[in-house]
Structure 1
Amino acid sequence: MVEKARTERNSKLKEQEPESERSLPILPVRDTVLFPHAVLPLTVGRESSVQLINSLGEDKTIVVVAQREARVDAPQASDLYTVGTLAVVHKVVKMPNQSLFVFAEGLERVRLAEFTQLTPFMRAKVDSVPESIPPKSSEVEALQRNVLTLFQQIVAGSPTLSDELSTVAMNIEEPGRLVDFIASSLPSLSTADKQDTLETTDVRVRLEKINQHLAKELEVQQLRNKIQSEVQDRVQQTQREYYLREQMKAIQKELGEQDEGQRDTEELRQKIESAGMPDDVKKEALKELGRLSRMSPMAADYSVTRNYIEWLAVLPWAKTSGGEVDILKAKEILDADHYDLQKVKDRILDYLSVRRLKPGMKGPILCFVGPPGVGKTSLGKSIARALGRKFVRISLGGVHDEAEIRGHRRTYIGALPGQIIQGIRRAETKDPIFMLDEIDKVGRDFRGDPASALLEALDPEQNAAFRDNYLDVTFDLSKVLFITTANMLDPIADPLRDRMEIIELQGYTEEEKVHIAFQYLIPRQIEENGITPEQIEFPEESVGYVIRHYTREAGVRNLERNIGTISRKQARRLAEGKSEKLVVTKEVVQEFLGGIKIRSEGEIAERTKRAGVVVGLAWTPSGGDVLFVEANTMKGKGGFTMTGQIGQVMQESMQAALTWVRSNAAQLGIQENFFAEHDIHIHVPAGAIPKDGPSAGVTMATALVSLLTGRPVRPLTAMTGEITLSGNVLPIGGVKEKVLAAKRAGVRDVILPAENKMNVEEDLTPEQLEHLNIHYVKEISEVLELALPTSPREEKHYEEEREKVLSEQPVS
């Protein structure tokens, strides 16, 4: 019946068109293409389109044309495609929001010609677009069947397309109509592709185009189905594993067995019970264990909670090294491992004695301060061996993050306890020897101040309740013997320094280094380089020669390095087939180590030949050193120049020395107008090294007097002391380091402030003072009497002595 009515309308339209050539209303649509023989529901909301539908009378014929751009709200003639579909409106339904729901049926393709009206809606004359129907052939039939088969496969595999579409498509015989039906039914076909299909009049070309679209759509659909299938398989596998796991739990429950998770929980419970935790810590651990037992192993927090409980369980809450320590045996071990260092050994033996009388005493916090290479770190290991305790060492050099000391909070991914708690775990006892190396090199930045975090750990009154951020429970560190090491005290914060007992380790003399070399360094290097004591021999004078002319240090690291070099040379000789024993003479040392590097006595004697050059003594972080002060004068107007990268305090000492010399010019035999007619320059080599401090005051005053009176100083003489304007000599610090530096440099006479006599007697042994003459002075006049010749005869004697020293120097 519908088909009959459609045929009548078509014939009626065809009869009318040639006669009237009337214009038809144009309905623009977005993202939609109406094909001939298709019924399409359209939502009409634009005011112009609503007026168009309402203006239709008995003749319900309109032209449906797609817009080029869907975003255009008020399309003009240029915004529409030129080919559309002649359609008839069957039904109009008014919606609550004033829009219309229209059912339109496509009749045939038409091309827009001349527009006769643009407002309130568009009208235009249209021309029919005839189809180019190909003659029937096997090729066209094959193409049609292929298109039908692909479409049926797509419908069968799509959950959104109805199976009735396949049936309808099978009943369409005309190829052009089949293509139109499929194009209108495919939701994946874009508006542009649909419009292209509508505009293609050649049915064969249209078949080929839709065939390509269908093939592509089928491939996409198959890929999508494959992906969906894989996802579904994975989900099913997970569900299967879950069901199997639940079944296994049920079976184990029936058999009275435990699953793996329960076994883990039970093992952790036993560890907690046997760890000897304090009650509050044990309560926290069992609380977390209860949470863990209720958690699924797949939960995100499971591993975090388990790690936390394991950390609590493995810490040595109650485990100690135990056992009485034999003090005499401990003394033997300390003496065997290190030469000298008597102060440190006495302090450790005092601690052991008190601990024997009072076992519950707190561990001391010791700080070993000294130059590099004197044995601070190795002393910690020796103390641990003497006490029979575990040894733990962490280096604080370059540490900037406070969390390195106290740990991270558990909320952070990969959080761990701080280095102190980690060290306690490694030691497996609660009373190890804990060495914090290089505490003076702790950094500080936006992540916090590690030195401040150490305040709690290194305070005997607080560390019994040390709280790590990760554990969040207290741990008793009061039984730990903390030993810190530093090269200098200045960078250490005052509150931290106040918590530590400072023990200073000074440098070694040449005799001590010889002893250390024979007792420790030579045997170690011989063993490390694969040779035997029978294959190499180090005479004592050769070791002293190496110490004197190839090293200038407070410790013994460079000495061991040079001994190692000589040992390696002998190892090479043996590898080359030379099997004779090597006796290390001075000539062998020069052959293996090169020419002499340091000419200590010769340098002092050579440089003090000229008046105005005096040897001072300085303290450095690596021990002590000699310091040359040179003065010179030239014609001028009383200027005073100071160079050598010297600090403010040292410059003031120079000014004080000059003031004293000028005020005492008459007694010293200097013309009073000399200072007005001459400029004076004082220089302190080496110019690249910063220098500061008041202890070179007497050296500068002596240099000025030596220069202005033309008397060179006594050879192999060095001095130190602060000067006042009235000529008094004040005490200075670092006496031991300075005296040892003088001895290393070959100095024979050392001038010191009288008030430092007690430091010399306490800190220096008779062996260290051997071959040294110490002169104590209270006033600068005494210094000048000792350092400068008082008669021509004495000056001649000093000159002969200097020449003798220079003639005895080895040739490099």
Structure 2
Amino acid sequence: MFKALPIQLVQEDSDDLIQLINPEQDTDLKPEDLPEELSILPIKNTVLFPGVVIPITVGRQKSIKLVKKAYQGNRIIGVVAQKNSQAEEPTIEELYRTGTVAKIIKMLVLPDGNTTIIIQGKNRFTIKDFVQEEPFLTAKIELQPEPVLNVNGKEAKALVQSLKDAASKILKLNPELPQEAQVALDNISSMSFLVHFLSSNLNAEVSDKQKILETQNITERGTLLLQYMLKDIQMLEIKHEIQKKVHTDIDQQQRDYFLRQQIKVLQDELGYDGPDKEVEKFRKRAETKKWSKQAAEHFNKELDKLLRINPMAAEYPVAMNYVEFMLDLPWEDYTTDDFDLKRAKKILDQDHFGLEKVKTRILEYLAVLKLKKDMKGPILCLYGPPGVGKTSLGRSIAKALQRKYVRMSLGGVHDEAEIRGHRKTYVGAMPGKILQNIKKSQSSNPVFILDEIDKVKSDFRGDPSSALLEVLDPEQNNTFGDNYLEVDYDLSKVLFIATANSLDTIHPALRDRMEIIEVTGYTLEEKVEIAIKHLIPKQLKEHGLKNSDVKFSKDAVIKTVNSYTRESGVRSLERKIGTLVRNIAKSVAMEEEFDKVITEETVRKVLGAEIFDEELYQGNDIAGVVTGLAWTQVGGEILFVESSLSRGKGILTISGQLGDVMKESAMAALSYLKSNAESMEIDHRLFQQYDLHIHVPAGAVPKDGPSAGITMFTSLASIYTQRKVKAKLAMTGEITLRGKVLPVGGIKEKILAAKRSGIKELILSAKNKRDIDEIEKHYIKGLTFHYVSTVDEVLKVALMKEKVKDPMKFVFSDQKAVNA
């Protein structure tokens, strides 16, 4: 309010300012004084009201031309506000239709080239129609006459007094406004000019001022203005209260400071520990630390800073926590490794059955560490399906080395600060989880498990995978920088072991820093041994039973593995054993009679009907049904590809929620089959007169990948020739349009799935033979492998000459029924 007073803006042409000094004088122009077409000057950020004098800086070319021409003539122009204050050249649509006729009192050309005009508002008008836009806006207008007002009426007098009181209150609440404004306010007796004068200086949006200008009745105009002024008063009162409260708080802080100084003197007299003594304790603790010179200098600098901070200030506990964290970190405090390799091998064998490749790698690391004491810690990544013992293997390694054990779950971590920490300047800053766990272990060389590293996420808070690059690089992690610590910390002696279910989602650069060790699933024999040696004793202990209370027969364990679990790991198997043990625990607690030996019959009774058949293979009585092999994050699985033909127009339908790669495999298989139909004795009319439907069961489960290429081709060959597929046969391999069979991954998991499902023969790409050679013999015992390079070789192995029972009879439009 009263940001600028019109009476102070003009220093010349005093005859033109008589309306400000004597506002009762008539300022209205008569219609005959106006031209038929009035030049329109758009203005932004303000609204011109009748009787008010304001300066305007003119910068637009159109506006400069308008002002110069008007100044040379009768000096009368029309002024309207623009809706969008940001628009440099407003369109006609961006202008309000109600404005004020103005007279140019003075035109000044400033040294910087800008032109400033001083104008006084006359009459309100409404634009009827725009006549021209160039070289400047011209419009036909209609004057808005001011209705006759009874200035001596009670309502008018009350409104005038209310407006003056509100304006006076605003002047008192806002000390930045000039005191001359009150004098100018007291000299105004005209209600019309008072409303316009206050509206011009109102602290409000252009749209609100325009609303006042467009209001026809002067009384209503004044009432609307009063509403806006009262809102302004409320805001100023709130601002005044806030400033008063802040001033009071500052005074309170000064008082508190003197009181604290007195308390400090009293504490010294009574022998209580003050901030100075706390700092001295920290210095003594620091003398025992084995940190670097850089860390020691930084710590002493932080202590000196702590002394300068007021103990009651908000920064004090933050600085205190930082100093304590530095002291709590185990700087170069190492546990002594146990290099008894025979003992280590015994511990690994006791805790984990199988996993020979992983155990060998761990023993190799221990052997090298025994010979070379300053060896940097390797970064191992145990990769495999859930439940195979990846995480618990880390605990066994720590036990074998007699090192501290730390585990950090990375599943769902999406904030970079979880790894690197927050900067100390942030509210609630904390160090990263890496250093927090190192502090918890109280050792600089623990076995550190980074669990589920493949499930790290990234979002707007940063990429934790990138933050892990320095942690998991033996060449860099000796100077690991945490944002909170601000000093390099040595992680090179830490034995990092990461675990993952899938390598696809791991950052490529991160994967390159780790040594990948595959931990595959277990065979039936291994699961039985794991259950007897580990799972059953563990479950008995957890359920409060002794080994003498119950015994599991080997047949019962085999039944549980085959009929109630179907996985690569043993997690589900452990749950089923837990169910059996709880049944015994209930009988013991209720003092009921029970059979102390769990047999197959007991398993069936407690666990219910078999969830899985011992052999999932479905036979070969139907044409077009072929068994394939797939890899998933939880191990290998078998899948079936089904094909069927029906009379139609040769339309191909693919279903089963397949991904793009799998659909392309189906189309490639069909294309190769069409191009080699003659050699396979397939009638070409089949492709034109019969619709083909390819389906992969378990339609709710998304499937993708190239592994099912030869499986789909064999299914198509079988349905078009109606020949049987060889019994208990499964296959995996990618197909090309030239009929080549390419190698695929996940071979070991797929073989275990095949064995679980009763498959006896497997067809693989010839290049996958190298994968078979690396697998231990007991995994592939009882399986026959056929290595192929082309799909023709696949058909020689997979398709029998014998046709299925009741083969389809194909009927073509140009002949009678034909047997396939």
- Give TM class, smaller chain: 0.5 to 0.7
Matched residue type, 1:715: A
User: What secondary structure does 1:482 align onto?
Assistant: strand
1:789 to 789, 797, 800: 800
Q: Would you say the 8 A contact 1:551–1:559 is kept in 2?
A: yes
User: What secondary structure does 2:381 align onto?
Assistant: strand
Give me the whole-angstrom Cα distance separating, in 2, the residues matched to 1:300 and 1:444: 33
State the Cα distance separating 1:240 from its structure 2 match: 6.1
Q: Which moved more, 1:319-328 or 1:394-403?
A: 319-328
1:65-76 correspondence runs (5 A): 71-72=161-162
Match of 1:564? 578
1:696 to 708, 711, 733: 708
Q: Would you say the 8 A contact 1:275–1:314 is kept in 2?
A: no
Give me the whole-angstrom Cα distance separating, in 1, the residues matched to 2:557 and 2:441: 40
Aligned residue pair count: 576
Match of 1:604? 617
Distance 1:73 1:719, change over 3 A: closer
Is residue 642 from structure 1 mapped to residue 654 from structure 2 by the alignment?
Answer: yes
Give me the whole-angstrom Cα distance separating, in 2, the residues matched to 1:279 and 1:642: 69
Distance 1:559 1:235, change over 3 A: same
Match of 1:228? none
Q: Would you say the 8 A contact 1:327–1:352 is kept in 2?
A: yes
Q: Which moved more, 1:574-583 or 1:487-496?
A: 574-583
State the Cα distance separating 1:600 from its structure 2 match: 4.7
Give me the whole-angstrom Cα distance separating, in 1, the residues matched to 2:407 and 2:686: 63
Distance 1:548 1:248, change over 3 A: closer
Matched residue type, 2:276: Q
1:199-598 correspondence runs (5 A): 242-249=261-268, 251=269, 259-598=273-612
User: What secondary structure does 1:461 align onto?
Assistant: coil
Give me the whole-angstrom Cα distance separating, in 2, the residues matched to 1:756 and 1:97: 94
Q: Which moved more, 1:749-758 or 1:364-373?
A: 749-758
Give me the whole-angstrom Cα distance separating, in 1, the residues matched to 2:784 and 2:162: 107
Match of 1:18? none
Tell me the alpha carbon deviations over residues 37-56 of structure 1, each in whole angstroms, 9 at most, x when there is no partner.
xxxxxxxxxx99xxxxxxxx
Matched residue type, 1:781: D
Tell me the alpha carbon deviations over residues 657-698 of structure 1, each in whole angstroms, 9 at most, x when there is no partner.
222322333332322332222221111111122222222121
Match of 1:654? 666
Q: Would you say the 8 A contact 1:624–1:737 is kept in 2?
A: yes
Is residue 766 from structure 1 mapped to residue 777 from structure 2 by the alignment?
Answer: yes
State the Cα distance separating 1:395 from its structure 2 match: 0.8
Distance 1:357 1:671, change over 3 A: same
Match of 2:732? 720
User: What secondary structure does 1:386 align onto?
Assistant: helix
State the Cα distance separating 1:370 from its structure 2 match: 0.8
Q: Would you say the 8 A contact 1:546–1:589 is kept in 2?
A: yes
Q: Would you say the 8 A contact 2:627–2:711 is kept in 1?
A: yes
State the Cα distance separating 1:237 from its structure 2 match: 9.6
State the Cα distance separating 1:712 from its structure 2 match: 2.6
Give me the whole-angstrom Cα distance separating, in 2, the residues matched to 1:244 and 1:695: 78
State the Cα distance separating 1:463 from its structure 2 match: 1.0
Matched residue type, 2:681: G
Q: Unaligned 5+ residue runs, structure 1? A: 1-46, 49-66, 76-95, 100-118, 121-230, 797-812
State the Cα distance separating 1:72 from its structure 2 match: 4.8
User: What secondary structure does 1:514 align onto?
Assistant: helix
Give me the whole-angstrom Cα distance separating, in 2, the residues matched to 1:270 and 1:789: 86
Match of 2:98? none
State the Cα distance separating 1:583 from its structure 2 match: 2.3
Matched residue type, 1:560: E
Give me the whole-angstrom Cα distance separating, in 1, the residues matched to 2:287 and 2:588: 61
Distance 1:698 1:98, change over 3 A: closer
User: What secondary structure does 1:619 align onto?
Assistant: strand
TM-score calculated relative to the size of structure 1: 0.67
State the Cα distance separating 1:248 from its structure 2 match: 4.7
Distance 1:791 1:612, change over 3 A: closer
Q: Would you say the 8 A contact 1:275–1:315 is kept in 2?
A: no
Match of 2:121? none
Give me the whole-angstrom Cα distance separating, in 2, the residues matched to 1:642 and 1:723: 17
Q: Would you say the 8 A contact 2:627–2:641 is kept in 1?
A: yes
TM-score calculated relative to the size of structure 2: 0.66
Aligned CA-pair RMSD: 3.0
Give me the whole-angstrom Cα distance separating, in 2, the residues matched to 1:531 and 1:703: 53
Give me the whole-angstrom Cα distance separating, in 2, the residues matched to 1:519 and 1:97: 96
Q: Would you say the 8 A contact 2:629–2:732 is kept in 1?
A: yes
Give me the whole-angstrom Cα distance separating, in 2, the residues matched to 1:531 and 1:500: 43
Give me the whole-angstrom Cα distance separating, in 2, the residues matched to 1:464 and 1:417: 18
* Bigger radius of gyration among the two: 1
Tell me the alpha carbon deviations over residues 401-450 of structure 1, each in whole angstroms, 9 at most, x when there is no partner.
11111111111222111101101101111111111111111111111111
Match of 2:18? none
User: What secondary structure does 1:657 align onto?
Assistant: helix
User: What secondary structure does 1:611 align onto?
Assistant: coil
| Fraction of identical pairs, as percent | 50
User: What secondary structure does 1:336 align onto?
Assistant: helix
Give me the whole-angstrom Cα distance separating, in 1, the residues matched to 2:654 and 2:471: 47
Q: Greater helix percent: which structure?
A: 1
Give me the whole-angstrom Cα distance separating, in 2, the residues matched to 1:436 and 1:412: 27
Q: Which moved more, 1:693-702 or 1:377-386?
A: 693-702
Matched residue type, 2:788: V
User: What secondary structure does 2:672 align onto?
Assistant: helix
Is residue 736 from structure 1 mapped to residue 748 from structure 2 by the alignment?
Answer: yes
Match of 2:814? none
Matched residue type, 2:617: I
Q: Would you say the 8 A contact 1:368–1:483 is kept in 2?
A: yes
Distance 1:336 1:698, change over 3 A: same
1:18-167 correspondence runs (5 A): 71-72=161-162
Match of 1:778? 789
Is residue 632 from structure 1 mapped to residue 651 from structure 2 by the alignment?
Answer: no
Q: Would you say the 8 A contact 1:534–1:581 is kept in 2?
A: no
State the Cα distance separating 1:791 from its structure 2 match: 4.7
Q: Would you say the 8 A contact 1:319–1:428 is kept in 2?
A: yes
User: What secondary structure does 1:767 align onto?
Assistant: helix
Distance 1:727 1:413, change over 3 A: closer
Tell me the alpha carbon deviations over residues 352-406 of structure 1, each in whole angstroms, 9 at most, x when there is no partner.
1221222112111111111111111111111111111111111111111111111
Matched residue type, 1:724: T
State the Cα distance separating 1:768 from its structure 2 match: 1.4
Match of 2:765? 753
State the Cα distance separating 1:784 from its structure 2 match: 2.2
Matched residue type, 1:684: V
Give me the whole-angstrom Cα distance separating, in 2, the residues matched to 1:529 and 1:704: 54
State the Cα distance separating 1:754 from its structure 2 match: 2.0
User: What secondary structure does 1:617 align onto?
Assistant: strand
Match of 2:36? none
Give me the whole-angstrom Cα distance separating, in 1, the residues matched to 2:713 and 2:368: 51
Give me the whole-angstrom Cα distance separating, in 2, the residues matched to 1:490 and 1:305: 43
State the Cα distance separating 1:598 from its structure 2 match: 1.1
Q: Would you say the 8 A contact 1:397–1:438 is kept in 2?
A: yes
Is residue 681 from structure 1 mapped to residue 700 from structure 2 by the alignment?
Answer: no
